[in-house]
Structures are given as structure tokens and as C-alpha cells.
Amino acid sequence: MANLGFVGLGVMGSEMVKRLLSKGHSVKGFNRTKSKAEWLIKEGMQWADSPRTVAAPADVVFSMVTNSAALQAIVEGPDGILAGLAPGKIYVDISTVSPEYSRSVAEKVRAKGADMVDAPVSGSVITLQEGKLSVMVGGRKETFEKIKPLLQDIGPKVTYVGENGLALVIKIACNLSLAVQMLAFSEGVLLAEKSGISREVAVDVLTNSAIASPMIKYRGPFVLKLPEEAWFNVNMMQKDMLLALELGRNLDVPMPSTAVTNEFLTAARGMGLVEKDFAVVFDVLAEMSGVKR
């Protein structure tokens, strides 16, 4: 049993807290909107009024927020996580943010005598609920070994990648492929549909074929019906695609399929679909093809 803190109780963060509570850990949490955390309080999570008051009593504090700006907002300032850290504490950021910014936060954490790792995850809410989430970790190896059992309580597959920031790099590499696969899948479905094959049959065949990655198996059916609540919306996916394109420029790695797919996400924004699951790239391509959802 560990004394934990958790900042950022969105869809994924709240499910992680639920798993940690179920493993017997004590968790104190904070979220910008308290109402979203009420169900966790009923599950046994303690409420804190700021990121600082989450971090101060915790041996290990986690965070999961939307982007680099959101991370800066919860880390810095008089009520931020940094203000609550002390020597010996460990900070685990699960957010998908700029590797460069994450490294700068790690330097500030170490200046306080604490340590930090980046630990983004691969998987969806369903993957998390089923206990199949993958966790990638960047930071000092000795710190990784200390927190590995805690991370395994969140997801069974925990992989040490290397120094700070590198787990974020591999997470970005994973996510760019999700969007690219979804666009390619949409092309295949629409090609079949306009040839006279029903969309349902096309989805059934493709999701049980050689191209059916785990992502295609669970997100492919979204071309038939989008979920009411996005698992991973256009805004969040485009943030990751832009991070990928930035890394590609910095490292001289051409990113042609990422660049094209990113334009479809921009089109989705222009069509007012920014809050929809990124599988909505199907709708963008369907509109261009003269096909209705």
C-alpha cells in the first residue's frame, strides 16, 4: 500500500485512480472541476484543493493532463506540484506533452531533491478497464525500479525506455500511427462501399483481416456509429500529430503520412467535429467522397 497523489482526473486519469484504489493504495486527488471527481470521492479518494496539497503528503504523485500548457499550469506557481515536492519524493507525469518541456520540468523537480519520470500510456479507456494498458517510462533507471510495481497496478505491460523524454517520444510515435491507420482504414471502407459492398460488411471483413491491428479492431466499428463520448478527440490527437511533426523536423525524419493525416484532422476541426473521437476522419473522407454517414 502506497501513499499516492493524483492530479488530473479526466476520463483516463479517473480510471487510473480507480485501479489504484482497488489495489489498496491511499490516493489524494485534485481536478480543475471537482464535480468530475465526486464519484471517486465516493470510491474512497481523498480530495485536495490544489496540486500542491496533493503533492505535499504523497510519496509518489501522478499527473495526467491534456498538453504542455496544462502541465505547466499544475506544476509551477505557489499552488503547483513543484511547491509540494520535497527530497525523496517521486513525480510521475503520464501526460503526452513535449519531450523538451518534460525534461525541463524534470530538472526543476531534481533541484528540489525529488525525482521525475515521464510515463505515458498506450491504450484506450476500455484497454485500461480491462487491465491491458501499456506504460512506457523515461527517467533514471533506479527511480523506475522503485515505482514499477505501482505502474503495474495501472497496466501490466511496463517498459523502461531510457532517459527523461524518451518515453514521450515513443508514445508520440505510437499515436501518429493510430491516426494514420484510421485514415487508411476509412479509405478501404469507402472504396468498398462505393463499389456496392455494405459498410457493415466492409467493416466486418476488414476488422477480421490481416490489417486488423488492435486499434482497428476496437475503433474500426466507429465508422458505423461514433461513441457519444469521444475516447480520444480530434483536438487531443492533433496535438500529438503536431508534436510528431515537430520531432520529425528537429530530427530530419520525413513524416509524409503523418502530415497528410494531420490535414484531415484540420478539416474535421473546420467541420465543427473537434470534440468527436478522431475516428471522425472517416466522416471527412466520406464527405469528400459524396457518401453520407
Alpha-helix runs per DSSP H in 76-140: 81-84, 99-111, 125-129
pLDDT at 11 over 80: yes
Give yes or no: residues 128 and 207 share one domain. no
pLDDT at 270 over 90: yes
Map residue 243 onto helix, strand or coil.
Answer: helix
Give yes or no: residues 139 and 186 share one domain. no
pLDDT at 101 over 80: yes
Q: What angle do CA 264, 265, 268 make, to 5 degrees?
A: 90
pLDDT at 93 over 90: yes
Query: Is this prediction's pTM over 0.85?
Result: yes
Give yes or no: residues 123 and 11 share one domain. yes
Q: Which of 134, 162, 190 is the last residue of a domain?
A: 162
Most confident of 45-59, 115-129, 219-233: 45-59
User: Which residue segment(s) compose the domain that 51 sits in?
Assistant: 3-162
Residue 224, exposed/middle/buried by CB under 10 A (0-12, 13-18, 19+)?
A: middle
Chain Cα centroid distance, residue 54? 21
Give yes or no: residues 180 and 156 share one domain. no
Buried b (16+ CB within 10 A) or exposed e, 256-285: eebeebbebbebbeeeebbebbbbbbbbbb
Catalytic entry in 171, 194, 217, 292: 171
pLDDT at 264 over 90: yes
pLDDT at 180 over 90: yes
Dist. CA 261–CA 257, nearest whole Å? 6
Give yes or no: residues 210 and 118 share one domain. no
The number of domains in the chain is: 2
Give yes or no: residues 157 and 178 share one domain. no
Buried b (16+ CB within 10 A) or exposed e, 22-49: eeebbbbbbbeeeeebeebeeeebeebe
Give yes or no: residues 191 and 76 share one domain. no
Give yes or no: residues 130 and 188 share one domain. no
Q: What is the pLDDT of residue 190?
A: 98
Q: What is the pLDDT of residue 292?
A: 83
Give yes or no: residues 122 and 212 share one domain. no
Closest by CA to 190, choosing from 277, 279, 262, 282, is 282
Q: What is the pLDDT of residue 189?
A: 98
pLDDT at 126 over 90: no
What mean pLDDT comes out for the span 152-165? Answer: 95
Residue type, 152: Q
User: 134 has which bridge partners?
Assistant: 122, 157
Give yes or no: residues 113 and 225 share one domain. no
Mean of per-residue pLDDT scores for the chain: 95
Q: Which of 99, 134, 162 is the last residue of a domain?
A: 162
Verify whether residue 23 is a known catalytic residue: no
CATH number of the domain within which 88 lies: 3.40.50.720
Alpha-helix runs per DSSP H in 29-140: 38-43, 51-55, 68-75, 81-84, 99-111, 125-129
Closest by CA to 114, choosing from 137, 136, 146, is 146
Q: Which of 144, 162, 180 is the last residue of a domain?
A: 162
Is the Cβ–Cβ distance between 116 and 93 less than 8 Å? yes
CATH number of the domain within which 183 lies: 1.10.1040.10
Instruction: Band the pLDDT of 128: cuts 50, 70, 90.
Output: confident
Give yes or no: residues 35 and 141 share one domain. yes
Q: What is the pLDDT of residue 269?
A: 97
Closest by CA to 189, choosing from 103, 266, 286, 260, is 286
Give yes or no: residues 129 and 223 share one domain. no
